[in-house]
Amino acid sequence: MDLPSKKAKQNTQKTEATGTLAIDLGNTTTIVAFQAEHNLQPRLLNLSPISSSLGQVPSLIWSSLEEHPKILAGQEVLDHKLAEQTSPNLKRDFKRFIGKSETKTDHLGLLTPENAGELLISKIWARIPKDLNIKRLVLAAPIQTYRSYRKWLHEVFSKFDIEEIALVDEPTAAAMGADVPPGSKLLVLDIGGSTIDLSLVALEGGEGKAAPIAQLMRFNGKDLEGRSSQALRCAKVLGKAGIALGGRDIDRWIAKYLLPDQEQSEELLNTAESLKCKLSQTVNPYEILEEHLVSSQNKQRITLSLSRKELEKLLIKRGFIKILTELLKQTLSGGRRNNCTLKDLYGVVAVGGGVQIPLVKSWLSEQTSPAAMISPPPIEAVALGALKLTPGVNIKDVLHKGISIRCWDNRTKSHIWHPLFVSGQTWPTNSPLEIILSASQNNQSELEIKLGEPSQGERYEVLFINDMPTLQSNLSKEITASWETQEQVIKLNPPGQSGEDCLKLEFRINSNSMLEVKGVDLRTGASINTIQLGQIR
């Protein structure tokens, strides 16, 4: 699809402000904010007619199937009363499926989730005020699909004429959006429309430490030196965990609980969402609140009635609190590996619409005591925090999954998976990991580097059973899934003999999240040039 050239628009008019644009694509709401280069105060943008309020664009796309298709986005879909329809023309709830290997096309009609996301971004881009010169763009990505989501964003924004593009994971941006002192350590809970992310984040600086050298990560893989006088902090993620479950799933549970035999149309889910928001604000947990809708199909009046106490019981029954507890356990485990506990935290940051549910608030407060609760704007925090990470910051992250290499075990005479980097390890790596590989047979002419991602213990996944999001525990022994990349082969000259140490390899993860290896042949001293093995997650 053709996207408007920002530079072409700027050449025809005098621009008033040059700076950074932040886009936080959400499952229900997308946030758009701008910060001028010489102005420390960011601002949310009005993108009429697609904005529902300042800086907020509903994540909705209506794509007609007519000979001359018409595309509506955001508030336009609501204004035309199209969001209540159950139609393949309506695209919503698509962010959760972007970058997934299996796409729920039955829910999304003819457009793929990636198509719908690109259409929304193109509509947003076309509505950016003409007096803004977008020098750089910063985007937020979910943890669970970071690698594939990054690849999709690169494909989308390769068509945009922008000098600099940066990417940051959503929990890190949320921590920056809380505007806490340099050097602080935070626990961040982000419950969006389709995902839950928990992370421990350390902000650099404080105690007289110098500001980090500003760096800007681009999708083309190049690091840029800082181009701004702003002193920005470096964020380091100490531990994190996430799952593809969010506020829209709670809406489905409410609708199913109150009307088990009713088709879950968009208008019903929207009404359930309104009731959920009302219940999140009520003081009396036993007060029964109502929301009404008139079915567009049979004009029947439908009433949804629920108390906050009933909603809490429903969330507990569905396993929502249990999965939050498990995610917190995983996150704190990563924190302990980095010498960080709850007592070390400056506070707990809660963002996203789902954190406004009283049960979630009370659970979080109880589970994270004695850390203090910090409440930035729950919806805009990620976009505003992303602006603080630009125009340059050196982001140290952690591996969401480990990396293992397949090796020959001379003792068992079989191949085994040997860990290179474990889940929770920070990157970029400060020093390489050295490994010595031996030949597994006589006259071996080459060694193959085969990598995989290990997983073990109890994990939860979200399955759609009869169109209902259901949490299922996956308790299994360690499983190593091979990377979906071509195996690298290193020639042995001369050929190696069984059990002979042949190669010393050095593995490292660079600042572009690329796993690299170089080494030396221990027998001849010949160098092995750097090989890029693939991007980590």
Do 32 and 172 belong to one domain? yes
Amino acid at 412: T
Please, are residues 476 and 456 in contact by the beta-carbon 8 Å criterion? yes
Domain hosting 417: range is 403-535
What is the Cα–Cα distance from 277 to 311, expressed in whole angstroms?
Answer: 11
CATH of the domain at 120: 3.30.420.40
Q: Enter the tokens of residue 507.
A: 């593995």
pLDDT at 128: 93
Please, are residues 233 and 205 in contact by the beta-carbon 8 Å criterion? yes
What is the Cα–Cα distance from 517 to 497, expressed in whole angstroms?
Answer: 23
Amino acid at 309: K
Is position 68 within any domain?
yes
Identify the domain boundary among 398, 429, 463. 398
Please, are residues 219 and 160 in contact by the beta-carbon 8 Å criterion? no
Q: Enter the tokens of residue 468.
A: 């209902």
Is position 289 within any domain?
no
Do 390 and 444 belong to one domain? no
Residues 6+ apart with CB under 8 A from 474: 458, 459, 460, 461
- DSSP one-letter string for 108-169: HTTS-HHHHHHHHHHHHHHTS-TTEEEEEEEEEE-STTHHHHHHHHHHHHTTS--SEEEEEE
Is position 57 within any domain?
yes
Do 140 and 166 belong to one domain? yes
Is position 34 within any domain?
yes
Instruction: Tell which residue, 444, 280, 429, has the closest CA to residue 353.
Output: 280
Is position 324 within any domain?
no
The bridge status of strand 433-438 relative to strand 501-509 is antiparallel
Is position 306 within any domain?
no
Do 384 and 425 belong to one domain? no
Tokens 């035309």 belong to: 80
Identify the domain boundary among 364, 398, 432. 398
Do 531 and 439 belong to one domain? yes
Maximum alpha-carbon separation in the chain: 82
Q: For the chain, give percent helix, strand, coil, nearest 5.
A: 25, 35, 40
* Total domains present in the chain: 2
Do 107 and 83 belong to one domain? yes
Taking the CB of residue 264, how many other CB atoms lie within 10 A of it? Answer: 16
pLDDT at 96: 79
Do 61 and 170 belong to one domain? yes
Is the dihedral angle over the CA atoms 329, 331, 336, 340 positive or is it negative? negative
What is the Cα–Cα distance from 95 to 416, expressed in whole angstroms?
Answer: 37
Give this prediction's pTM: 0.64
Identify the domain boundary among 398, 429, 450. 398
- Between the two ends of the chain, the Cα-to-Cα distance in Å is 29
Please, are residues 471 and 460 in contact by the beta-carbon 8 Å criterion? yes
Instruction: Tell which residue, 338, 323, 360, has the closest CA to residue 463.
Output: 323
pLDDT at 123: 94
Residue 140 has, within 13 A of its CA and on its CB side, a CA count of 34
What is the Cα–Cα distance from 397 to 143, expressed in whole angstroms?
Answer: 11
Residues 6+ apart with CB under 8 A from 81: none
Is position 194 within any domain?
no
What is the Cα–Cα distance from 276 to 314, expressed in whole angstroms?
Answer: 12
What is the Cα–Cα distance from 4 to 121, expressed in whole angstroms?
Answer: 11
Please, are residues 296 and 84 in contact by the beta-carbon 8 Å criterion? yes
Do 470 and 392 belong to one domain? no
Is position 313 within any domain?
no
Do 27 and 171 belong to one domain? yes
pLDDT at 30: 92
Do 62 and 136 belong to one domain? yes
Q: Is 504 left (phi over 0), alpha (psi -120 to 50) or beta?
A: beta
Residue 451 has, within 13 A of its CA and on its CB side, a CA count of 23
Q: Enter the tokens of residue 514.
A: 């690329």
Do 111 and 59 belong to one domain? yes
Helix segments in 318-357, DSSP class H = 320-337
Amino acid at 239: G
What is the Cα–Cα distance from 493 to 349, expressed in whole angstroms?
Answer: 56
The radius of gyration computed from the CA coordinates of the chain, to the nearest angstrom, equals: 25
Q: Enter the tokens of residue 44.
A: 């949310």
Please, are residues 282 and 289 in contact by the beta-carbon 8 Å criterion? yes
Is the dihedral angle over the CA atoms 122, 74, 165, 231 positive or is it negative? positive
Residue 213 has, within 13 A of its CA and on its CB side, a CA count of 3
Helices 320-337 and 358-368: crossing angle in degrees, nearest 10, is 30
Amino acid at 265: S
* Alpha-carbon torsion, ordered 72, 78, 79, 80, to 10 deg: 60
What is the Cα–Cα distance from 363 to 326, expressed in whole angstroms?
Answer: 13
Give, for all 537 residues of the chain, the pLDDT tens digit.
444 444 444 444 444 688 889 899 988 889 999 988 777 678 899 999 999 889 999 999 998 766 566 889 999 998 888 876 777 888 888 887 887 755 444 444 468 889 999 999 999 999 999 889 888 888 887 766 667 787 888 788 877 777 777 777 776 777 777 777 767 888 988 888 878 888 888 876 555 443 332 234 343 434 333 333 333 334 677 888 888 888 889 999 999 999 998 888 878 888 999 999 999 988 898 999 999 887 766 778 889 999 999 999 999 999 999 999 999 999 998 888 888 889 999 899 888 888 889 999 999 999 998 888 887 777 787 788 778 766 444 445 666 677 888 887 777 777 788 888 777 666 777 778 888 888 888 999 988 888 887 765 555 566 666 666 666 655 444 555 667 666 788 899 999 988 888 889 898 888 777 888 899 999 999 999 988 888 776
CATH of the domain at 419: 2.60.34.10
Do 127 and 152 belong to one domain? yes
What is the Cα–Cα distance from 455 to 475, expressed in whole angstroms?
Answer: 10
Instruction: Tell which residue, 443, 442, 483, 479, has the closest CA to residue 458.
Output: 479
Taking the CB of residue 381, how many other CB atoms lie within 10 A of it? Answer: 28
